[in-house]
């Protein structure tokens, strides 16, 4: 009887153990960090980055995990070639010297098992600063063709670009705040 009880206890403990977090790869064809920035105090310029990659480790049971995203700054797209080319050059991103921006963070503050914040650090233009993103939505479904878990999220945040040495226009009265809006999709790795 004791052996049967011990075996049953071990079996229950094994089945009650939490599932391991799942590793996801960012889907670069469905991930576009976008931004809004002031133009002389009279309008708002909008743009996006066309090339991002990264990985997510997500534990759906606890609503926690980690994120690492790398964005190619040369892929900046304002919808105006002259402005995009200028932003890649020596007066702004200096993509020859600083080709990528990297965000690393932790999924936190779950509500009903879904994280509501991504707390981490942004490295941009050779400078690393704290950045917290608000997660507005996060949902996972079975990918209809790949038959694997597929997650999508929408997040936003704000930072001051002059803290990263990107102060172009400040002397002309440009506000330095940048509003981020990031839609991201990621596929579970086999």
Reported pTM: 0.86
Which CATH superfamily, name and number, covers 19-188? Lipid/polyisoprenoid-binding, YceI-like (2.40.128.110)
**DSSP secondary structure, 103-172, as one string:** EEEEEE--BTTB--EEEEEEEETTEEEEEEEEEEEEEEEE-TTT-SEEEEEEEEEEEEGGGGT--TTGGG
Would you write out the chain's pLDDT as a tens digit for each of its 190 residues?
Answer: 443 333 333 333 444 455 689 999 999 999 989 999 999 889 999 999 999 999 999 999 999 999 999 999 999 999 999 999 999 999 999 999 999 999 999 999 999 989 999 999 999 999 999 999 999 999 999 999 999 999 999 999 999 999 999 999 999 999 999 999 999 999 999 9
Smallest CA-to-CA distance from 56 within 178, 125, 140 is with 140
Extract the tokens encoding 174.
Answer: 């440009």
Give me the residue spans of the domains in the chain. Answer: 19-188
117, 132 in Cβ contact below 8 A?
yes
Per-residue confidence (pLDDT) for residue 47, from 0 to 100:
96
Distances from the Cα of 118 to the Cαs of 100, 106, 131, 162, in angstroms? 20, 5, 8, 22
């Amino acid at each position: 009887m004791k052996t049967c009880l011990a075996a049953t206890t071990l079996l229950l403990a094994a089945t009650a153990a939490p599932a391991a977090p799942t590793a996801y790869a960012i889907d670069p064809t469905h991930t576009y960090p976008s931004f809004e920035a002031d133009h002389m105090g009279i309008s708002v310029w909008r743009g996006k980055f066309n090339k991002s990659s990264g990985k997510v480790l997500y534990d759906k049971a606890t609503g926690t995990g980690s994120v690492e995203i790398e964005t190619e700054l040369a892929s900046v797209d304002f919808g105006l070639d002259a402005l995009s080319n200028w932003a890649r050059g020596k007066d702004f991103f200096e993509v020859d010297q600083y080709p990528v921006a990297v965000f690393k963070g932790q999924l936190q503050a779950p509500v009903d098992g879904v994280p509501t914040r991504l707390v981490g650090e942004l490295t941009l233009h050779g400078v690393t600063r704290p950045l917290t993103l608000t997660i507005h939505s996060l949902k996972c479904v079975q990918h209809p063709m790949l038959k694997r878990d597929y997650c999508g999220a929408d997040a936003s945040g704000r930072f001051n670009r002059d803290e990263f040495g990107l102060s172009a226009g400040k002397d002309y009265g440009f506000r330095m705040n940048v509003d981020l809006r990031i839609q991201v999709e990621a596929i579970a790795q086999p």
